Structure 1
Amino acid sequence: MLLQTADQPFNDPAFLFEPKIDGHRLILSRSQRETRMWTADRTECTRQYPELYPVPIDGDVVLDGQVACHVPENSRTCTHLVKERLQLKKREKIAAHSFHNPVHYVIWDILYLNGRDLRTLPLVKRRSILEKVLAENDRFALVTQVEGNGEELYRSVAEQSMEGIVAKRKDSLYVSRRSSDWLKICARGS
């Protein structure tokens, strides 16, 4: 599900709003205890993030979210650290990074669960399922959502010099293309 761009933040009770997380898009799949991961351009990156292999959900699942690295000094996310991590080739360096500067997976959607395709359910139903099955921990977390008030969230993320926000129509189905049901609103100067 790809984002279209909106020019300005807005308020609308038909939408949920989320902060746009610095990092890169990650589709994570676990099937029969094997975990695999792909970037938005369908490049497999499973070996890059061994700390994400133990998925805190029972059964087979496909998740959509953002992989992020936190700067140790201030706990803010940093795109540069994730890009650096994605480029590592040597197993020893990947292992060292996963220990000293582990990534975090911020999840915003669940696409499959135990053989059931959830993409045809409305976003709010998929989110409800995700909240019930995910056991959040220091590696896996749900993205924060604000209902209806995108302008306030936008001001908050802009004050924190974050990238922007994402607006998602509550009744949106998950489609494998660009859709006006999901909109990105970039913070000025990002």
Structure 2
Amino acid sequence: MPTRRKVPDPVMLRPPVPLMQPRPVPVLPAEDGMPGGVVYEIKLDGVRCCAARTEAGVELWSRRARGLNGRFPEVLPALADLLASGVVLDGELCAFRGGRLAFTELLRSPRSRAADGVAVSYVVWDVLAVPGRDVRGLPLVERRELLAEVLAEARPPVERVMATRSRETALGWYRDLHSVGVEGLVCKAAAAPYRPESASWVKLRHAETTDAELVGIVGDPARPEAVLARLPDGRQATTSPRLTVVQAHQVAQAVRGRLRPDSEKSSRVHWVAEPRPVAEVLLGSGRHGRARFVRMRPEE
């Protein structure tokens, strides 16, 4: 009886996996300023997402290894039609409203987004695996060629990120696309492999915000005036100026059901229980510069 050949497993990389993070820089690198030259990409304002096709179907993962399928079902059918088993992608989930990126729409439920006609797209910039092969060790330029093959039949809500090798073109994007919500640019070494511990990705943003743990709120829990934020260096800051109506609503939603019962009722400060939500803040200059609340981040 002839021996049946075993079919190789096409799934060689199973998320969640560590994702590369760009470090901030004050000036856009020159075209020859990184190994193999530079690939300039627009920096979108969304939720970082790794998408994979496995035996279980399409899986979405955040940069902090949280499953995202339930929060962003809008992109799942398109990815299921497009991806072969074993493909792993890196990109960003973005919401669009009225032709602009609308980050805060990502905080809403899929049902409420659909009711208001908010479109969610998955914008892809890298491929980490193809059927039967982990490709993270390849140079970026070769991964980009593979990505073009993987996404050859892609249609919205799945699309490739805008990218160029021209610094002049990139600077034009940086100048002109800010008005539609583009945060800035990400610059990548064209010859570099995908290694999360490396420094081969950098970013230039119009405003460099910081993620901070929201440890408490000031004022009425239904209409907070400020938040107490724990910064990455361990310092705690109270945000100012007073939260706007929209910001206060975001914060109230984020802390609903999370306030610690040991908070003193007579106090205007209410402490948040773990796991705590994350807020984006903009820090002033100097060690004692004030922190300005920008927005809540979706749980990642």
TM-score (norm 1): 0.85
Contact 1:111 1:119 survives alignment (8 Å): yes
| Aligned mate of 2:202, from 170, 183, 190 | 183
Q: What are the superposed Cα offsets for residues 132-158 of structure 1, whole Å, 9 maximum, x if unpaired? A: 121221110000101041433322334
Q: What is residue 63 of structure 1 aligned with on the other side?
A: 89
Q: Report the AA paired with residue 97 of structure 1.
A: R
Q: 1:188 to 1:51 in 2, by over 3 A?
A: closer
Does 2:104 align with 1:111?
Answer: no
SS in 2 for 1:11: coil
Q: Report the AA paired with residue 127 of structure 1.
A: R
What's the CA shift for 1:11?
2.7
What's the CA shift for 1:44?
1.1
Does 2:44 align with 1:21?
Answer: yes
- Partners of 1:154 and 1:58 lie apart in 2 by 34
| Aligned mate of 1:97, from 102, 113, 135 | 113
Does 2:80 align with 1:80?
Answer: no
What's the CA shift for 1:161?
5.2
Does 2:180 align with 1:156?
Answer: no
| Aligned mate of 2:150, from 128, 133, 137 | 133
In structure 1, stretches of 5+ residues that fail to align are 89-93
Q: What are the superposed Cα offsets for residues 86-140 of structure 1, whole Å, 9 maximum, x if unpaired? A: xx4xxxxx34535742310000000011121010001111111111121221110
Q: 1:112 to 1:187 in 2, by over 3 A?
A: same
Q: Which has the higher helix share?
A: 1
Q: 1:96 to 1:153 in 2, by over 3 A?
A: closer
- Partners of 2:157 and 2:181 lie apart in 1 by 23
- Partners of 1:60 and 1:189 lie apart in 2 by 35
Does 2:144 align with 1:121?
Answer: no
SS in 1 for 2:165: strand
Q: Report the AA paired with residue 93 of structure 2.
A: V
Report the RMSD for the aligned CA atoms in angstroms: 2.1
What's the CA shift for 1:189?
8.0
TM-score (norm 2): 0.55
Q: 1:44 to 1:153 in 2, by over 3 A?
A: same
Larger Rg over CA atoms: 2
What's the CA shift for 1:78?
1.3
- Partners of 1:11 and 1:161 lie apart in 2 by 24
Q: What is residue 39 of structure 1 aligned with on the other side?
A: 62
Q: What is residue 171 of structure 1 aligned with on the other side?
A: 191
SS in 2 for 1:141: strand
Q: Report the AA paired with residue 165 of structure 2.
A: E
What's the CA shift for 1:32?
2.5
The structure showing larger relative contact order (alpha-carbon pairs under 8 Å, at least 6 residues apart) is 1
Identity percentage of aligned residues: 27
